[in-house]
Amino acid sequence: MQRHRQVAAAPQRGHLITWDAIAELVVATLDRSPHIVASDVTAAMEAAKQRRKSARCRWAPGKYALVVVADPVYLNITTVYG
């Protein structure tokens, strides 16, 4: 099952607040599974956020998707700027 979501980014949100919105979306989506624990997803998203902060990386507007694979769910998340 493939899902695509777009998340508002700058100027609506700063990059870390955008990441928090994405993390909430991923947790809410994967928490529906009886095989996935929300706290594990939250911890993984927080670890990814810390790596993003240390690398100072950002996405190009709508150019790249974050893809979360939790078979049978494939979640593609892009950011929308402007």
Structural domain of 51: 2-80
Residues 75 and 1: beta-carbon distance below 8 Å: no
Alpha-carbon distance values, 77 to 21, 34, 60 (Å)? 11, 22, 13
Rounded CA-CA distance 27/35 in Å is 13
Q: Tens-digit pLDDT profile for the chain (82 aa)?
A: 888 899 988 888 888 888 899 999 999 988 888 888 889 989 988 888 887 665 555 555 566 788 888 888 888 998 888 7
Coil, helix or strand for 63?
coil
Residue 39's pLDDT is 92
Residue 73's pLDDT is 83
Residue 1 structure tokens: 């099952």
Q: Domain tally for the chain?
A: 1
The DSSP line for 12-52 is TS-HHHHHHHHHHHHHHHHTTSTT--HHHHHHHHHHHHHHH
β-partners of residue 75 are 3, 68
